[in-house]
Structure 1
Amino acid sequence: MQQVENCGEEATVDVQFTDLPNALIACKVPEDLFDEDGLKGSFEALFRSFDPEVTFQYFKSFRRVRISFGDALAAAEARLRLHKTDFKGKEMRLYFAQSVHIGSPRLEPPKPDKQFLISPPASPPVGWEQSQDATPVINYDLLCAISKLGPGEKYELHTATPTTPSVVVHVCEDEHGGNGGGDSSSAPDDSDQDDKPRPPRPKIVQTRRPDFTPRVEQ
C-alpha cells in the first residue's frame, strides 16, 4: 500500500506486482526424487521454510519440478537462497516460471492482415467496375484510297513535320510483268508447274565402313 499526494489531496494507490511470477522451476534434480517419498520430503522441506502453503508438481519425463508459492516475494527469496545449491550430489537450478496472458487467456485466431495475398481474390474490391472494350476505329477514307492504288503507286498517310517523319504506303508491283516492262515469259507459270513431273529425290548413300584389319600382338 502506498500513499501519494496530488494537488493537496491525499489518494491511496494499491500497488500490485502482477508481472512477477510466483512459481519456480527446479532443474537438474536427482532422478530418484520422482520415485522415493523420503527424498521428496527432504526436497519439499527446503521450500516450506519460505512458504508453508507451497505446492509441488513433479514432471518425471522432463526431470522438472514446479514449485508454486503464495506470492512472488517468497518465490524470489527461495531462488536467491537455493539457486545452484547442492541437493543429494546434484547442483540444483531454479528459474522463474513465466506465464504470459495477452488479452484473453483463450487462444484467438490470427488477425486477417494478409488476406489480400489470396489469388484470385474472394470478391472484387469496393468500387471496382468492369471495364468496357474500346470500339475499333475504322478509317474508311484510308481504305478507299488504298483500294484505288495501282501497282507501284504510293499513298501518304501522314505528312512529315519538323519533329516526326512522314508515313507512306507503297503498293507492291505485280510479279507477272509489272516490274518495269520486262518479259512476262520469264516468270514461271503455276499451271505449267502442276503438269510437269517432279524430279525424283536424290538417294542418300551411306558411307562405307573401312575394312577391318586384325592387329597382330607381339
Structure 2
Amino acid sequence: MQQTGRGGAAEEATVDVKFTDLTNALIACKVPEDLFTEGRLKASFEALFRSFDPEVQFQYFKSFRRVRISFSDALAAAEARLRLHKTDFSGKEMRLYFAQSVHIGSPRLEPPKPDKQFLISPPASPPVGWAQSQDAMPVVNYDLLCAISKLGPGDKYELQTATPTTPSVVVHVCDDERGVNSAPDDSDQDDQPRPLRQKIVQTRRPDFTPGAEQ
C-alpha cells in the first residue's frame, strides 16, 4: 500500500507499508523533559495522537525520555507515524518508531527446565535413568601372597628393583630362634625369658648423584 503525507514544513514522503508486518504501538523518542511533569504539555501531546484514534493509550517512561503510544489497530499507528514523525513539538523534533513485538510463546513466565537440578546439594530427586554406582572390588595381589607363603624364616622377596633414584622394596621374613616346635609350655612361660625377635634392617637409600637421569 502506498501513502503520501506531509510532516513539518513542506516535506513530502512516499512510503511503501505492509500493515500485516506492523504493530499497533509507537515509541516517541527525544520528547521534552517537561512533558513528564506539566499536565498542559501532556494534554497537548496526547491530543496529537487522539486525532488518529480516540482510544489510544499512553505509557510514560521518564528515565528513558520515551513514551509508548498504543493504538487500537496498526492502521492508525502507521498513519500517526507517517504524519507526526520528525515534526516539531514544544521546540523538539519528535521521533516516532514502531514498537517491536516479542513472542515468548506463553503469556506467563515459565520456570526453566530442571535438566541439571540433580547437581544441587542435596539433590531434590535424581534424574531419569540414574542409578547408584557400585563400589569397586579391592585389588588383591595374589602373586605377592603366593610368593610370601613360600618364604621361610630368613628368606626375602624383592617387590621392586632398585633404580638410580629409587630404592628397592624387599619383604623379609623374621627368623624364629626357638624353632617351629620349640615353643615352651604355658607353665614355663613365666620362668623362662622370651628370646628377642630379629630386628628387620631398614633398606638403605641409594646415594644421590647429580649426573643420574631423572
TM-score by length of 2: 0.50
Q: In percent, how many aligned pairs have the same letter?
A: 74
Show the counterpart of 1:58: 60
1:87 is displaced (CA, Å) by: 1.0
Deviation at 1:48?
2.6
| Equivalent runs, 1:127-138 vs 2, <5 Å | 127-134=131-138, 136-138=140-142
Distance, in Å, in 1 between the alignment partners of 2:66 and 2:171 is 93
Match of 2:188 in 1: none
Change (3 A) 1:108 1:146: same
Which amino acid letter does the alignment assign opposite residue 26 of structure 1?
A: A
For the structure 1 residues 136 and 37, does the alpha-carbon distance in structure 2 shift closer, same or farther, using more than 3 Å as the test? closer
8 Å CA contact 2:148–2:157 kept in 1: the answer is no
Between the aligned partners of 1:42 and 1:91, the Cα distance in structure 2 is 15
Deviation at 1:22, TM superposition (A): 1.0
Structure 1 Cα separation of the partners of residues 51 and 124 of structure 2: 63
**Residue 155 and residue 55 in structure 1: after superposition, are their counterparts in 2 closer, same or farther (change >3 A)?**
closer
Question: Once the 2 structures are TM-superposed, how far is the Cα of residue 155 of structure 1 from its aligned partner?
Answer: 7.1
TM-score, normalising length: structure 1? 0.49
Structure 1 counterpart of 2:116, one-letter code: K
Q: CA 1:119 to 1:27, structure 2 compared with 1: closer, same or farther past 3 Å?
A: same
Specify the SS of the correspondent of 2:34: helix
Change (3 A) 1:33 1:144: closer
Spell out structure 1 runs of 4+ moving beyond 4 A: 116-125, 137-141, 154-157
Gapped regions of structure 1 (runs ≥ 5) = 1-15, 158-168, 172-218
SS at match of 1:100: coil
State the distance in 2 between where 1:155 and 1:113 align.
Answer: 55
CA distance in 1, matches of 2:89, 2:158: 105
How far did residue 126 of structure 1 move?
2.5
Distance (Å, rounded) in 2 between the aligned partners of 1:146 and 1:36: 105
Q: Distance in 2 between matches of 1:28 and 1:64?
A: 7
The match for 1:160 is none
SS of 1:146's equivalent in the other structure is: coil
Q: 1:122 to 1:137 in 2, by over 3 A?
A: farther
2:116 equivalent among 111, 114, 117: 114
RMSD over aligned Cα, in angstroms? 3.8
Residues matched between the structures, number: 144
Change in Cα spacing, 1:142 to 1:26, as seen in structure 2 (3 Å) is: same
Q: 2:82 aligns to what SS in structure 1?
A: helix
Whichever residue aligns with residue 131 of structure 2, its letter is G
Mapping 1:144-159, distance limit 5 Å: 144-148=149-153
Gaps of 5+ in 2: 1-18, 160-169, 173-214
